[in-house]
């Protein structure tokens, strides 16, 4: 039963990726360390042990407390990742990493030569693996718990040292993951304030020469554009061998000490060269504050060598830009693209990078001149009479980038606004307007070097509109009625006129039992169903009011209900003397599939129910869907000839106002007569007679009568 769950987990993961590793076969020997004893939480107790590989006496640690050591051959696994080794051991990757570090820094590491280090390391490993134990002064007793002692002080000291070593193991140089800039032609020295650089070595580097001297890292870029990454790796080679996991199906697993995964540290560097700062000012104000709403952002300059060779394109932000990586030489800058609202500057601005000013950032001042435009807004609104000027409508002009309001204006009696705008990107936004009319959408205006001196914008506001979708529905089932050409009218209550979107001002349903109007202007409307024959349904003389305004959806959906027409079948049962016959049972069937709004209510020949004639010889069905039905007399009266043939009945649609359709049926039963006889009624209380009606179909009629009445 040992490690069943671990084995199952291992099998599951085998389907993901097959693991290849090297294995060895060895035996594990052990020696009890009698100075230290323990007791587990489950009551097991004993001495700490020192485990070694039989082949070369390499130390190993128990990683499966509570399971006895196997005295035969073990299979050792190595060459695997921590995750793969952890899987084989049935522990987490984090647990394997921690116990590997404990074994690395435990017994045998540098001056850790006393067996106290075995006890300290082994007990720390058990704690990591979740095994609860305590030290005892004896390892024998029916009750080992009475000998529990605190952790011995010399063991606690080694705990503390192990903790410190592991903490230091993960400590990296103080400049780890830093990005440094190195002037080309110089070496850069990084001092490690953590004092552990001597425990690392250079794994790799790019585009530079790098050395370690005592506690300093010295980096020299290879060229003026050098940039790269330096990788340092911790020297974890105290054992000069790999960790081996020893496993046996019936014995405890052990971990043989070896070197652990190295800690890495990285430093990113970039060589830097000469530098200038380009500052932009308004030609008129000589500052970075633009005139009006113009902006000094977005300018582009070309950086050229003295011979006119383009080095790079420079984009200014916040009125300036800094150009780095300049090697020695003569240069100039020239504007390629002016910022919004400014004219292009045709001047050249020369400068030089020399040995004397190499480390100094030069500042170059450049100027631009602003543009303006005159804006005219013409505002109208749409009515049924045409376009009219919209007076006293408020507009705001905002800065497009910040949406800060710069100006507010109201249209005059002609619906106009006049304003002069300097260069910039603006939003023109309507603030107020007529009720139930859309406000104009925001208009974005760019004033730049191509903008004419006068800009005219014509705006027309349209009213809120909605379409109306009418859906016919069955009032009893709430299902849609799929009937075409049901006619409606729509009346505009406020303007007192019918809506005419067709020549006859009538709206008709399509094959889906619905219709949709074109856009309707703001108002209150009334939907009316025109009186008409609606096959199977009653005319709905009620109306529906609805309103179109700014709060209405794009399509207003209205459900218009109609009550389905129903029917009843009435049957009168009498004899030849016109006397009513009561308690005659008739069973009702559907003669055909009975539909209601396209849905089958009764299938052909489906039994619907039994009905009994009352004392007047009458019966009446409940409300039924329209269609064809038939009765079968299922329990004839004694002494009467039964009506065997189906009794047909049909409920037909009459008109749009008749809710209940009545079908009247009259049935007369004949009295059965026989010749005179001298039968003794006391011997024959009743006589049953079968008369063959049709010998081919072998159907019989069954008559019964009381012999005492003969």
pLDDT, tens digit, 9 for 90 and up, residues 536-571: 888 888 899 999 998 999 999 999 998 888 888 888
| Dihedral sign from CA coordinates of 503, 505, 511, 514 | positive
Q: Of 70-74, 119-123, 133-137, 667-671, which gets the smallest average pLDDT?
A: 667-671
Same domain, 128 and 10: yes
8 or 403, greater pLDDT: 403
- For the ranges 174-188, 408-422, 663-677, the lowest mean pLDDT is seen at 663-677
The confidence band for 185, taking pLDDT boundaries of 50, 70 and 90, is: low
412: pLDDT confidence band, cut at 50, 70 and 90? very high
Are residues 415 and 340 located together in one domain of the fold?
no
Residue 225 has pLDDT above 90, yes or no: no
Q: How many helices (H) and strands (E) does the chain have?
A: 5, 49
Q: Choose the weakest-confidence range: 97-101, 110-114, 476-480.
A: 476-480
Does 218 reside within a domain? Answer: no
Dist. CA 381–CA 378, nearest whole Å: 10
Q: How confident is the model at residue 691 (pLDDT cuts 50, 70, 90)?
A: very low
User: What are residue 373's DSSP bridge partners?
Assistant: 421
pLDDT at 661 (0 to 100)? 64
pLDDT digits (tens, 9 = 90+) for 456-488: 999 998 899 999 999 998 888 888 889 899 999
Give residue-wise pLDDT tens across range 619-667. 988 888 888 999 998 877 877 777 778 888 888 877 655 556 667 888 8
- When pLDDT is cut at 50, 70 and 90, the band that residue 677 belongs to is very low
Give the single-character DSSP code of 342. Answer: B
pLDDT on residue 73: 93
> Residue 414 has what pLDDT?
94
Q: Using alpha carbons only, what angle is made at residue 414 by residues 411 and 420, rounded to the nearest 5 degrees? A: 50
Report d(CA 252, CA 121) in Å as an integer.
17
Lowest mean pLDDT among 8-22, 210-224, 465-479: 8-22
pTM of the model: 0.42
Number of structural domains the chain divides into: 6
Contact 353, 331 (CB under 8 A): yes
Last residue of a domain, one of 146, 169, 192: 169
Q: State the average pLDDT over residues 560-584.
A: 87
- For residues 556 and 585, state if they share a domain: no
Range of the domain at 676: 672-710
Average pLDDT over residues 417-429: 90
Assess whether 495 and 434 both reside in one domain: no
Residue 212 is assigned to a structural domain of this protein: no
Same-domain status, 160 and 11: yes
Domain ends where: 315, 346, 368? Answer: 368
Q: How confident is the model at residue 125 (pLDDT cuts 50, 70, 90)?
A: very high
Residue 99's contacts (CB-CB under 8 Å, 6 or more residues apart) are 61, 63, 125, 128, 129, 255
What is the average pLDDT value for the chain, to the nearest integer?
85
Query: For the chain, what percent of residues have pLDDT higher than 70?
Result: 89
State CA 251 to chain mean position distance. Answer: 50
Confidence of residue 194 (pLDDT cuts 50, 70, 90): very high
Same domain for 478 and 390: no
Residues 284 and 363 in one domain: yes
Query: Which CATH number goes with the domain that contains 418?
Result: 2.60.40.10
């Amino acid at each position: 039963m040992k490690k069943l769950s671990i084995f199952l987990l291992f099998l599951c993961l085998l389907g993901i990726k097959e693991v290849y590793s090297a294995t060895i076969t060895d035996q594990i020997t052990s020696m009890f360390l009698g100075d230290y004893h323990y007791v587990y939480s489950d009551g097991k107790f004993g001495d700490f042990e020192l485990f070694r590989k039989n082949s070369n006496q390499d130390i190993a640690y128990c990683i499966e407390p509570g399971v006895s050591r196997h005295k035969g051959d073990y299979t050792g696994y190595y060459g695997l990742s921590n995750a793969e080794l952890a899987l084989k051991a049935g522990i987490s990757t984090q647990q394997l990493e921690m116990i590997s570090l404990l074994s690395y820094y435990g017994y045998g590491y540098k001056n850790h030569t006393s067996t106290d280090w075995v006890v300290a390391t082994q007990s720390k490993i058990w704690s990591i693996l979740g095994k609860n134990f305590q030290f005892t002064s004896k390892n024998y007793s029916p009750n080992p718990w009475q000998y529990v002692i605190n952790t011995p002080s010399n063991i606690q000291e080694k705990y503390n040292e192990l903790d410190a070593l592991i903490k230091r193991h993960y400590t990296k140089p103080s400049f780890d993951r830093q990005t440094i800039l190195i002037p080309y032609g110089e070496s850069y020295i990084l001092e490690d304030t953590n004092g552990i650089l001597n425990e690392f070595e250079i794994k790799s580097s790019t585009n530079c020469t790098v050395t370690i001297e005592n506690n300093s890292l010295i980096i020299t870029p290879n060229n003026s554009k050098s940039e790269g990454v330096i990788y340092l790796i911790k020297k974890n080679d105290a054992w000069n061998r790999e960790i081996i996991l020893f496993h046996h199906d019936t014995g405890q697993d052990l971990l043989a000490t070896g070197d652990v995964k190295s800690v890495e540290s990285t430093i990113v560097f970039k060589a830097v060269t000469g530098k200038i700062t380009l500052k932009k000012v308004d030609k008129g104000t000589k500052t970075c504050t633009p005139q009006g709403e113009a902006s000094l952002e977005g300018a582009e300059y070309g950086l050229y060598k003295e011979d006119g060779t383009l080095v790079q394109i420079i984009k200014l932000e916040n009125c300036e830009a800094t150009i780095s990586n300049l090697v020695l030489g003569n240069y100039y800058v020239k504007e390629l693209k002016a910022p919004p609202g400014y004219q292009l500057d045709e001047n050249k601005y020369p400068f030089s990078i020399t040995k004397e000013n190499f480390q100094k950032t030069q500042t170059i001042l450049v100027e631009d001149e602003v543009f303006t435009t005159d804006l005219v807004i013409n505002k109208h609104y749409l009515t049924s009479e045409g376009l009219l000027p919209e007076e006293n409508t408020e507009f705001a002009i905002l800065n497009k980038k910040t949406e800060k309001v710069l100006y507010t204006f109201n249209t005059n009696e002609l619906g106009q606004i006049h304003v002069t705008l300097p260069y910039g990107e603006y939003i023109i936004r309507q603030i107020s307007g007529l009720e139930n009319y859309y406000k104009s959408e925001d208009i974005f205006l760019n004033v730049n070097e191509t903008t004419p001196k006068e800009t005219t914008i014509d705006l027309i506001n349209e009213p809120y509109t909605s379409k109306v979708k009418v859906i016919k529905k069955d009032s009893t089932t709430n299902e849609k009625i799929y009937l075409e050409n049901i006619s409606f009218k729509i009346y505009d209550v406020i303007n007192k006129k019918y809506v005419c979107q067709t020549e006859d001002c009538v709206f008709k349903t399509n094959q889906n039992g619905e219709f949709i109007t074109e856009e309707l202007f703001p108002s209150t409307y009334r939907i009316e169903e025109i009186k008409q024959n609606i096959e199977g349904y009653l005319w709905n003389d009620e109306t529906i009011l609805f309103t179109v305004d700014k709060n209405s959806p794009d399509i207003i959906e209205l459900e218009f209900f109609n009550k389905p027409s129903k029917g009843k079948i009435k049957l009168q049962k009498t004899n030849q003397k016109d006397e009513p016959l009561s308690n005659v049972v008739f069973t009702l069937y559907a003669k055909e599939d009975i539909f209601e709004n396209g849905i089958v209510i009764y299938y052909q020949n489906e039994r619907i129910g039994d009905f009994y004639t009352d004392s007047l010889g009458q019966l009446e069905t409940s409300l039924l869907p329209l269609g064809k039905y038939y009765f079968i007399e299922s329990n004839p009266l004694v002494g009467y000839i039964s009506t065997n043939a189906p009794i047909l009945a049909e409920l037909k649609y009459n008109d749009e106002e008749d809710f209940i359709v009545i079908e009247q049926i009259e049935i007369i039963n004949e009295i059965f007569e026989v010749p005179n006889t001298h039968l003794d009624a006391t011997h024959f209380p009743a006589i049953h007679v079968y008369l063959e009606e049709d010998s081919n179909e072998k159907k019989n009629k069954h008559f019964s009568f009381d012999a005492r009445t003969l």
